[in-house]
Amino acid sequence: MTQLLTPREAAAILGTNVAQVKEWSRRVDHPLPTILIGSSGRFRKIVSEEIPAWLKGEIERQRPQPVPH
């Protein structure tokens, strides 16, 4: 079964603050995997099983691209 985390729980796992987790979950390009809870769309839970793959993608995104010669 999928474990859903609050932004606070995810922040503790990722070693960052809640505001950063919320920012990552809302961005358009490569967002932190979340599930919307409720009909308002205000509340998000982070999918814990998808954090490792997301982190790997983040590392690749942050890696400098080689400059063509």
Q: Is residue 45 part of a domain?
A: yes
Q: Is residue 67 part of a domain?
A: no
> What does each C-alpha distance from 62 to 4, 31, 36, 57 come to in angstroms?
26, 14, 27, 9
What percentage of residues in the chain have a pLDDT greater than 90? Answer: 68
Q: Is residue 68 part of a domain?
A: no
Q: Is residue 69 part of a domain?
A: no
- What residues form DSSP beta bridges with 47? 4
pTM (two decimals) = 0.80
Parent domain of 45 = 4-62
Total domains present in the chain: 1
Q: What integer is the mean pLDDT of 33-62?
A: 90
Instruction: Give the tens place of pLDDT for each residue, 16-41.
Output: 999 999 999 999 999 999 998 888 77
